[in-house]
Structure 1
Amino acid sequence: MNAKESAIPFPIIIALILVLSAVGLTYEIAAGRVLAPFFGTSLLTWTAVIATVLGGFSLGSALGGIVAERPRPSALRQVRGALIATAVLMAVSPTLLGLLNSWGARGTSGMLLSVFIVFFPASVCVTLPSPLLAKLAIEARPGREGSSLGFVLAAGSVGAIFGAILAGFLALPLIGATATFAACGALALLCLPFLRGGGTENHGVTIAAAAFVAFAGLAGAPACQYESGLSCLHVIRQGPEVRLVSDGQLQAAERRISGADGEGASGLALSYTEWIWARMERDLGADASVMFVGGGGYTLPTKLLASRPEAQAVAVEIDPLVTEVVQDHMPRAGEMIVQTGYDASEDREADGRLGIVHADGRVYLNETQRRFDAAVMDAFSSGSVPAHLVTRETFSRLKEIVDGPVYVNLIDQADGRLARGVNEILSELYPHIEVVHGSFTSRGRGNILFAASPRPLDDLNDLPEGYSQTHLSEGRAFTDDRGWFGHR
């Protein structure tokens, strides 16, 4: 085979670099999403994914440089082999992650091990062709090596940008993580026909890999029952309860009420919501207007509106999918959304008592002109509250638009850093604070609940089972600049 026969046109080389860069970034973002049902979504999980995938990219580039120096037929064979391995490894990633979890991969160490085993090999393989492609691009335009290298670097960057947009805005919300992994594998295989040369090609291996990728995409079990770019949701019916699980963490639950209409029954299935409702029932008037940051299962807004016909509520839920799933699967909350829900995103008056805003809670706080009698801060990303919702700036803004008490739900250790930080902020802003905690899990975390008010808070006659008042040590108040970093 002579050089002319093995030459690849420069535009094709640039296109291949762009596609493989897009595949690599799409894979990286999908990796963070598919981890969620097993290990949640946190700063730690994303750090582990990014570090592992970038480490794989680095090793793949180094190995690819060695391959690029080999005779052209040998180099092309090894690059084609790397693309086939890329396709298979990417397609099998969700299944392998599930197997590791079923074999006992738990906690931080289990997450780190799983990330390395599942995502590192494919990250190496997808990057291995890049040095050879760069070499071919430079050779394709003698005398114009500088601009050729510039086009190679630009194609890599543009491909990465395109891959990030493709994953976050299209692939993951529309087809889910499992199919996204298979699509990444399919794109890697589609590059093979443009890398001919290097002797007899084993078409049987390529066909087998393509069949495996197609099977993984079509027959593989989805990682989530319902999936968007923000949430991985499962609905679980357990006895009389309907439970909403997001990113592997129980987010909300509604108790199905027997009898004609469940009159007088709470419908609240989680003990922390019982405490918040008991406080609201004691603290608020009959026509209270309450903002809920974090829609979850809409159980507390539903309880408020069902119990107090003159009350108003605005629920700020970042993910529209959560609202859709609640409406379809949680009968009481779903009925309330249908009967009285309306779009409150523009702060305009509308018929209905349950305003729904699909936006980040902090963005809504910054922009809204409405005033409220009380607020409930109950937004979670997996097992922890988003850092930007527990800062001094957030609660200062809350105090500007909320005339009465603010109720906060956290998950933390007893006297943990998150709880102490929030307590410090609330103590700066409100003269009256009550703090209770529920039972703690084997990992030492549980619900820490706050009620902070400009006016004295009456004592509750009874607390939910397992709850007691608590005292928190001094802590560091979180700010937008130095915020909560998440559980580790």
Structure 2
Amino acid sequence: MDNPPRALPSGLATALVFGSSGAVLVLEIVALRLVGPYVGVTLQVSSSVIGIALAAIAYGTWLGGRLADRFDPRALLVPALLLGAIGTAVTLPLVRFGGEWLRGGAAPAVLLLAALAVFLPAFILSAVTPLVVKLQLSDLNRTGSVVGRLSSMGTLGAITATLATGFIFVAAVPSSWIVISLAVALALSGAALAWWLRRSGGTAPLPGKPRTRAALATIGLVGAGLGVASPNPCDVETAYHCAQVREDPANPSGRDLILNSARHSYVDLNNPRHLEFAYIQWIGAVADVLPSGPVDALHLGGGGFTMPDYVRATRPGSDQLVLELDGGLVDLDREKLGLTTGPDLRVRVGDARVGVAEQPTGSYDFVVGDAFGHLIVPWHLATREMAQDIARVTRPSGIYVQNVIDYPPGRFIRAELATVAAAFPHVAVISSREALDGEVGANFVIVASASPLPTAEISRRIAAVEEVGVMLSGEELTDFVGDARVLTDDYAPVDQLLAG
């Protein structure tokens, strides 16, 4: 009767389970950032990455258990780590090249890109735990304690990796370097384990011919090289965005701010009064109808700081506060988009909802909500409770404007209009005629106030811009909103509404 394989030292077994489980969670979190520039960061994208990762864990654990019963687990641990390193290394080129083909938010593209980002390495690394468990079960009377201990250490490894990646790694280095560093760490761990197993003796030889092992090593090195050389959609990777700044070939002082591969803001370094996009021109038209002189303005979302700079240029002496979640984006604006802050234009880095709650009642003449991006809507900024807090800080004669992007059949903009109308008695919306008729996706600018809106003057001004805007108010707006449901903190399915 063959002797069972010798158990690993308890510390080594714990380290293998802890490390492999942690590596899977690092990959899962980084995968969300890798796919974001191509398909957005929506609930569907997050669900796809989590679901694919869980599927990989389930199938990898099942396969690892089957292999542990058929072969000497000691002979499989090193290949699992090395193959995991190779799978991790090829993740970057798979996502970077595949993402160029799979851009957009269609469900099949999202699922496929999520699978390219996480399935292969997570599947391989998940096989490590059952291999280690099998090695440690030398005494059936201790099965419960062994399985419980290793299972708990795997969970602790996942928790540690989740917190370390979210709080430290992502803020410290680009996602590509996290992936490459993880691949190197796995390869070194596999090599160190191979050395220890060979030194301790009593293990089966590693499977595969030298030529096969050399080919796999080459694949890993080529994958890592392609990952570094693959097209990177980011000039700067902040904690929340993949960001680029591009010079406008038609205007030497013009700059485009690209966030997650979507054109987000346009800044003219020499002319802060220049408003490039139609929706920002409409917001500028609303700002221009405010009583003359300086204003107190609150901006929810900074982006390229186009509107704060416009208000500073057109209304000298105004006091402005910008609530921007992404401190890295603010640094990029200072470096490449000419942002200068001071007593008249202050920036507070943090969540807009928390920032609004800290503001005094009735303290602003002009509030601009521009924190929604392409397929990326922070749901907690779209609810009635948020709108009520904005109404609280807006003076009775002040105006709130909110930029919303939606697509046919326009379910989100209708719901958001109903939501804002639950907090403000006077509401209107501006967009193109085609967008209001449900023919195209576009920007919609919601205008709201506690006092009657100067709709005639706003309509006159938005009709004079390059892309003519149309304003709906009164009965026309009521007909447009229809029976749309008000969004609340308890019910705000913004991703589903955007998906149509």
TM-score by length of 2: 0.86
Alignment of 1:263-412 (within 5 A): 266-331=273-338, 334=339, 336-337=340-341, 340=342, 352-369=343-360, 371-403=363-395, 404-412=398-406
Query: Contact (CA 8 Å) 2:239, 2:328: kept in 1 or not?
Result: no
Hey, what does 1:60 align to over in structure 2? 60
Shift of 1:414: 5.2
The code of the aligned residue for 2:379 comes to: A
Structure 2 vs 1, CA of residues 142 and 384 (structure 1 numbering), >3 Å: closer, same or farther?
A: closer
- Kindly tell me: are residues 306 and 106 of structure 1, through their superposed partners in 2, closer, same or farther at Cα, counting changes over 3 Å? closer
Asked if the contact 2:96–2:232 (Cα under 8 Å) also holds between the matched residues in 1, the reply is no
Pair 1:326–1:268, CA change in 2 (3 A): same
The answer for the alignment partner of 1:224 in structure 2 is: 234
Aligned to 1:253: 266
Whether contact under 8 Å (2:40, 2:105) holds in the other structure is no
Per-residue CA deviations over 1:119-162 (Å, capped at 9, x if unaligned) read 322221110121011222333x7754332222211111111111
Deviations 1:172-227 (A, max 9, x none): 22221111111222232233232533214656457546644654565555452111
C-alpha contact (below 8 Å) 2:282/2:430 kept by paired residues: no
CA distance in 2 between partners of 1:170 and 1:213 (Å)? 25
Amino acid paired to 1:324 = D
Cα offset, 1:443, TM superposition: 9.4
The counterpart of 1:198, out of the listed 192, 199, 204, is 204
Query: Given the superposition, is the C-alpha separation of residues 291 and 221 from structure 1 closer, same or farther in structure 2, using an over 3 Å criterion?
Result: same
Letter in 1 for 2:264: Q
| Aligned residue number for residue 242 of structure 1 | 255
CA distance change for structure 1 residues 362 and 106 in 2, over 3 Å: closer, same or farther? closer
Q: Percent identity?
A: 24
Give the Cα–Cα distance (whole angstroms) in 1 for the partners of residues 352 and 115 of structure 2: 34
Relative distance call for 1:37 and 1:368 in structure 2 (3 A) is same
Alignment deviations for residues 10-46 of structure 1 (CA, whole Å, 9 cap, x no partner): 1111011111111000000100001111111111111
In structure 2, how many angstroms separate the alpha carbons of the residues matched to 1:177 and 1:382? 21
Please identify, of 160-169 and 186-195, the stretch whose mean Cα deviation from structure 2 is larger. 186-195
**Alignment-derived partner of residue 147 in structure 2:** 149
Deviation at 1:434, TM superposition (A): 1.7
Tell me: CA distance 1:3–1:290, structure 2 relative to 1, closer, same or farther (3 Å).
farther
Secondary structure of residue in 2 paired with 1:383: coil
Amino acid at match of 1:434: A
In 1: Cα distance, 2:409 partner to 2:59 partner: 43
AA partner of residue 360 (structure 1) = D
**Cα distance in structure 2, aligned partners of 1:66 and 1:451:** 62
Moved over 6 A (4+): 2-5
Across the two proteins, how many residue pairs are aligned to each other? 462
Q: Secondary structure at the match of 1:244?
A: strand
RMSD: 2.5
Match of 2:118 in 1: 119
- 8 Å contact kept, 1:138–1:148: yes
CA drift of 1:323 comes to 0.5
Letter of the 1:122 counterpart: P
Partner of 1:413: 407
Partners of 2:273 and 2:314 within 8 A in 1: no
Counterpart amino acid of residue 354 in structure 1 = L
Alpha-carbon distance change, 443 to 185 in structure 1, aligned in 2, over 3 angstroms: farther
* Counterpart amino acid of residue 470 in structure 2: S
The answer for the alignment partner of 2:470 in structure 1 is: 468
The answer on whether the counterparts of 1:294 and 1:316 sit within 8 Å (CA) in structure 2 is yes
CA-to-partner distance for each residue in 1:441-487, whole Å, 9 max, x for gaps?
99932101111011122222232314222442221100001013313
Q: Give yes or no for contact 2:374–2:405 (8 Å, CA) kept in 1.
A: no
Mapped contact 2:431–2:470 kept (Cα < 8 A):
yes
Tell me the residue number matched to 1:37: 37
Alpha-carbon distance between aligned partners in 2 of 1:301 and 1:289, rounded to the nearest angstrom = 11
Aligned mates of 2:233, 2:174 — CA distance in 1: 8
1:478 maps to 2:484: no
- Does residue 1:434 correspond to 2:409, yes or no? no
Question: CA separation of 1:200/1:451 partners in 2, compared to 1, >3 Å: closer, same or farther?
Answer: closer
| Structure 1 residues 107 and 392: alpha-carbon distance in aligned structure 2, compared to 1, 3 A threshold | closer
Q: Distance in 1 between matches of 2:142 and 2:274?
A: 72
Code of the residue aligned with 1:247 in structure 2: it is N
Structure 1 counterpart of 2:99: 101
Alignment correspondent of 1:449: 445
Quick check: 1:422 aligned with 2:422?
Answer: no
Specify whether residues 218 and 38 from structure 1 end up closer, same or farther in structure 2 by C-alpha distance, changes over 3 A only: closer
TM-score by length of 1: 0.88
Rounded Cα–Cα distance in structure 1 between residues aligned with 2:404 and 2:153: 44
- Aligned-partner SS, 1:53: helix
* Distance change >3 Å, CA 5–CA 225, structure 1 → 2: same
Aligned equivalents of 2:103, 2:260: Cα separation in 1: 16
